[in-house]
Amino acid sequence: MFLAIRELLFAKTKYILIGLIMVLTASLIFIISGLAQGLSSDNASVIQDLQADALIIEEGAEGEIGNSFIPADEREKMIEAQGGNNNASTLAIRMMNTTINDADQQIDIALFATERNGILMPDVAEGMFPQKADEVLADATLKQEGVRLGDQLQVEENTSYTVTGFTADQRYSHTPVVFISNDELEQFNAVAVQGEANTDGSYEVITKETALNGIPSYSQEQASLNMMIIFLYVIAAFVLAVFFYVMTLQKREQFGVLKALGAKSMYLIRGLIGQVILLSLISISIAVVVTFGIGALFPADMPFTLELETMLQPAIIIIVVSTIGAIVSLYQVIQIDPIEAIEGAAY
């Protein structure tokens, strides 16, 4: 490591340029990761945070909750089969338009109908928990549309609900979720179950992961962004491999002198790898600061979510990719002949 640090300090300009490339690459990876996580949350946070281990849906729905339709008269029987209301709740999803206090502006919402005191109702972040059939709990992002506590949401000509409370991070298919009571519904889409689900042959059990992939555009969005991130990792590996390969060739004479003085190949290799890891750690630290700075400039309604814990995995991958890129040049270090390298430097 002594040799690595000495060279970093000696050839500052060269390594600053390499570090700048790593900072830009890492920042781009972090930003795209934040967008991927933000879009994932904006598209399916209500399913991700669902207080259930499995979902029972209609056979043949192919994992899509919206394609499942279960008659209301099956509710009691299916809930009892799962051990009662403490273990299961029904769920109906309706994508609808609503107006606020009879205004002309229409807002897209996702109505989630379930038992008022069931396992699927989220915690209240502001206001009061709904107590009546015409009271609802709404996602806090509706505040950006002007919704306030006590406002009336009209979803049909003769149907309106009073917003008594707001909850946090409850989004479905890029729309805010409004939780209502399912007392008057004629059918529902699924039964959410805590623990092991029991069902007969006319229904199937799916996991939350399957339900997530069943949301329209969810898997396509994530696949596209993840492919971009993978390509950035590959690009970073190639760029760093070329940089360190060329730099190693430029230092053949110096390595030859060190070998002539008794330095072992493993000593030189440890120095090279230590150099890459140290440079990666410094660059990633700067990239983290840059990413949070850029993230602070994004508008509030932009789906961007990034925390230090979620940046750990990309950071580790970047270090590994950088190290792999540098390993390409190790063959040159091992093959250096001290006499040839010194004679070559003489000419």
| pLDDT tens sequence across 149-168 | 999 998 877 788 999 999 99
Lowest mean pLDDT: which of 259-263, 284-288, 313-317? Answer: 259-263
Q: How far apart are CA 144 and CA 137, in angstroms?
A: 16
Which strand (E) or helix (H) includes residue 245?
Answer: helix 218-250
Flag whether pLDDT at 337 surpasses 70: no
Question: Using the 8-state DSSP alphabet, how is residue 170 labeled?
Answer: -
Share of the chain above pLDDT 90, in %: 16
Flag whether pLDDT at 346 surpasses 70: no
Q: How far apart are CA 312 and CA 333, in angstroms?
A: 32
Question: Using the 8-state DSSP alphabet, how is residue 154 labeled?
Answer: E
Which residue in 235, 225, 222 sits closest to 25, CA to CA? 235
Q: What is the pLDDT of residue 224?
A: 87
Q: 178 has which bridge partners?
A: 111, 138
Q: What is the pLDDT of residue 140?
A: 92
pLDDT tier, 341 (very low <50, low <70, confident <90, very high otherwise): low
Q: How far apart are CA 314 and CA 158, in angstroms?
A: 51
Q: What is the pLDDT of residue 164?
A: 93
Q: What is the residue-averaged pLDDT of the chain?
A: 83
Q: pTM higher than 0.85 for the full model?
A: no
Q: Which residue has the higher pLDDT, 332 or 29?
A: 29
φ, ψ of residue 205 to 5 degrees: the values are: -105, 130
Which residue in 333, 47, 77 sits closest to 209, CA to CA? 47
Q: What is the pLDDT of residue 2?
A: 59
Q: What is the pLDDT of residue 126?
A: 92
Q: What is the pLDDT of residue 347?
A: 43
Which residue in 107, 170, 179 sits closest to 137, CA to CA? 179
Q: What is the pLDDT of residue 112?
A: 92
Q: DSSP 3-state assignment of 89? A: strand
φ, ψ of residue 204 to 5 degrees: the values are: -125, 155
Lowest mean pLDDT: which of 46-60, 92-106, 186-200, 236-250? Answer: 236-250
Lowest mean pLDDT: which of 69-83, 166-180, 259-273, 289-303? Answer: 259-273
Residue 258 is which amino acid? L
Q: What is the pLDDT of residue 178?
A: 94
The answer to whether 120 and 52 have CB atoms below 8 angstroms apart is yes
Domain ranges of the chain: 1-43+219-344, 70-188
**Which token pair is 91?**
């769920």
Q: Which tens digits make up the pLDDT trace of 9-42?
A: 666 787 788 889 889 988 988 998 888 888 888 8
Q: What is the pLDDT of residue 340?
A: 64
